[in-house]
Amino acid sequence: MAATSEHSAGPSRRSAVPDGGLLLFRVGGVPVLLAPSWWIGSLAIVVLYAPLVGRLLPGASMTTSWLLAAAFAVLLGLSVLAHELGHCLVALRMGIPVRRLRLFLLGGLSEVARTPRRPGQEGLIAAAGPIVSLLLAGFCALLLLAVPSDGSAWLLVAECAVANLAVGVFNLLPGLPLDGGRMLRAGVWALTGRRAHGTRAAVVGGGLVAVGLLVWALFGLAFGSDDRWLRLGVCVVTAWFVVMGAGAELAAEGRRGWPEGLLLADLVRPVLQLPAESPVADALAASAGRGVVLVRADGVAAGLLDEAAAERLAATSPHSPAELAAEPIRAETVLLSSESGDDIAERVHETAAWQFLVVDDEGRPAGVLRREDLRAAISGQSRF
């Protein structure tokens, strides 16, 4: 039921779509998938909920009970779908690509291609899902007033109201990977200026949410509530989901966070500009641990010298132009020296390149940042 971000950001990979489950449809070019685990979760809900229908609707036959239980499972799935579409459409509106939307087990997942750059973006995207769910719950509650209260139709509408209310309220709990946790992270991020601080606060919240779910399930068993077995099954699975999701968020933050006190100037290598037609062997010898920008005769940069490619070329043809071993300079591989550390770390994490040209505010080369240098500076065994 929680919307979360895929941690490996980058361009959308169409080959990943079939592995996510059954393709239902696309919205705004984003594939909506039904994972195999959704059927397992829905079957569990039907089995656990069917005995309750007899108590909610006295006189209902066994067939009616099973059909209404199946309807509840479908309505819960549709409620999660509406919730996730809220996240998806707001993200797209903000220009943040979404890889895919998946429904699985008891929840859903909107996989965005990159982390929101600002806390306001994260907060709005996170809030969109619960807002949709609560609005649908309110609509169904009003619809109950127009439906006779002694039949299956009333119970179906009530189920829809309860499903949306449960999805909306549960996701507002202040712990990752739930939407409330993302909103908490956005708030702490806005106050402190550090996304990592927000993540740590929301991970603690996730742990408290998991404990609360298990305590609630145990209370149901202790006091013999009618829904104790349904409550136990849902709470155990959901608590596991919350704990695993919070741990994944914390690990991802460690991979992309910028160490406190570290300056970009401490990491960048000096930059050397050489003519693009320079012999590759000479350019390789001149690099000596520096970043090399190869410039054509017209003053346009041909690219950054790729040392591995230069070594291969120099081994067979040392007098070939160094431009043949250049890695093109793309917009996404150019970093501003004035960018914040977190933004730089996020850019490096998202971009498939091993070196980045750092320029000052006037566009002049100020150095070269290599992925391996940033990786070594990140605490732990984080790997980009």
Q: Which residues are catalytic?
A: 84
What distances in angstroms separate CA 260 from CA 196, 271, 341, one per listed residue? 10, 25, 9
From CA 352, how far away is CA 299, in angstroms rounded?
26
From CA 384, how far away is CA 376, in angstroms rounded?
10
